[in-house]
Chain A
Amino acid sequence: MEEKQLTEQESLRLITDMINKARSSFHESGASAILWGSVVAIAGLTDFAQRFWNFRVGFDIWLVVLAAFIPQIIISIRESRRRKVVALEENAVDAIWMVYGISIFMLTFYLNVVPGVSERMLSDQGQELMVKNLSTGEVMHQPSFVISGYSLLLLLYAMPTLATGIARKFRPMLVAGILCYIYFLISCFTTTVYDLLLNGLAGITCWLIPGLILRNRYLKAKSV
């Protein structure tokens, strides 16, 4: 591009061209979305399979979610090194996912801690939860638990997904966010086993599929 005086029409055309160039230059690699989509799908579907077909993998499958933080750190460092341009909505989207990360950690804490605390509180008052089998009349001790805890996870998955879809005008995530709210509504009427299946599906629809679409776009843009 040379240094020359422009007519008004040329100026307007140049502005439009450059704005379009800048907008089409944002190509997320999709690596993070693929990672988290795969991990949540594996954990949710494996846990569902364990309970549905009565087998054990020998360890808490949800630990793979914790393990995924290591590749995520590597992906974040590599992407920040490669990034030549930062989009206007970048800070807002980063803030959404950071708050989501904190919230999911807090919710996991809640789901793990509250049953034990509830049981201790009841015990301090000389009480315990009991369930009665209506057909046999048998009364048994019921360990304390959070009702439909996996529904809360679905509710939380939906928020950053839909917000990112809206902020980036990225239809697959927008649709996935809405779908995840539908999964949440369904999970309010299903047992824990099927809530786990919905968690696995949420991983696939919210992150894995949008991640693969982003990856495809990124590779296409890179090859041009």
Chain B
Amino acid sequence: MFKELDPILHSQLRLAVMSLLISVKEAEFTFIREQTNATAGNLSVQVQKLKDAGYIDVAKQFKDNYPQTTCKITPKGIEAFEAYVKALQQYLQVGKG
């Protein structure tokens, strides 16, 4: 029985954001934007969706008088990401067979 791929993660930009965040403790919004080559508007929308799903924490603060947004993966996000990768591996193994 195949697990259905998590629809929150099974989208290019959201998966890219989660893959970046799984490898770091936390990252600034600008860093994520640079690495994904996404527009600020699109990235904001996808980050908000991940936040609403409880997969990431978003902290907004001021640094040197400039607004700074920092993103961090949550334990729920790590769990979802691991489950997503496992499900992917299942699909790919069947594909090979």
Among A21, A84, A90, which residue has the most Cβ atoms of chain B within 10 A? A84
Ranked nearest first, the 4 interchain pairs of A and B with the lowest CB-CB distance are: A18-B19, A22-B23, A84-B31, A86-B25
Contact B31 A14 (CB under 8 A): no
A25 to B28, CA, bound (A): 13
Indicate if the CB atoms of A9 and B92 lie closer than 8 Å. Answer: yes
Which A residues are closer than 8 A to B by beta carbons? 1-6, 8-12, 14-15, 17-19, 21-23, 25, 81, 84-88, 90-91
- Residue from the list B12, B13, B28, B38 in contact with A85, Cβ < 8 A: B28
B27, A85: Cβ atoms closer than 8 Å: yes
**Interface residues of B, Cβ cutoff 8 Å to A:** 5, 10-13, 15-16, 19-20, 22-28, 30-31, 35-38, 42, 46, 63-64, 85, 88, 91-92, 95
Q: How far is the CB of B33 from chain A (nearest CB, A)?
A: 10
Q: Determine the chain B residues whose CB is within 8 A of the CB of A81 once the complex forms.
A: 63-64
C-alpha gap A9/B15 in the complex (Å): 13
Bound: A85/B73 CA distance, A? 13
When distances are taken between beta carbons in the complex, the residues of chain B under 8 Å from A23 are 23
Smallest beta-carbon distance A4→chain B, Å: 5
User: Contact at B88–A14, with CB atoms within 8 Å?
Assistant: no
**B34: min CB distance to chain A, Å:** 8
A207 vs B63: C-alpha distance in the bound complex, in angstroms?
Answer: 30
Q: A12-B88, A18-B35, A81-B64 are in contact. Are A3 and B24 (CB under 8 A)?
A: no
A18 CB contacts on chain B under 8 angstroms: 15-16, 19-20, 23, 35-36
20 A-B interface contacts by CB (under 8 A): A1-B13, A3-B11, A3-B13, A3-B46, A8-B5, A8-B91, A10-B12, A12-B88, A12-B92, A14-B19, A18-B19, A18-B23, A21-B35, A22-B35, A25-B31, A25-B35, A85-B31, A86-B27, A88-B25, A91-B25
Nearest to A8 among chain B residues (CB) is: B91
Complex-state Cα separation, A44 to B36, whole angstroms: 48
A46 to B57, CA, bound (A): 51
Q: Is the CB of B95 within 8 A of A8?
A: yes
Chain A residues whose CB sits within 8 angstroms of the CB of B64 once the complex forms: 81
A18 and B31 CA atoms in complex are apart in Å by 12
Residue in A1, A11, A84 whose CB lies within 8 Å of B10: A11
> What chain B residues lie within 8 Å of A21 (beta carbons)?
20, 35
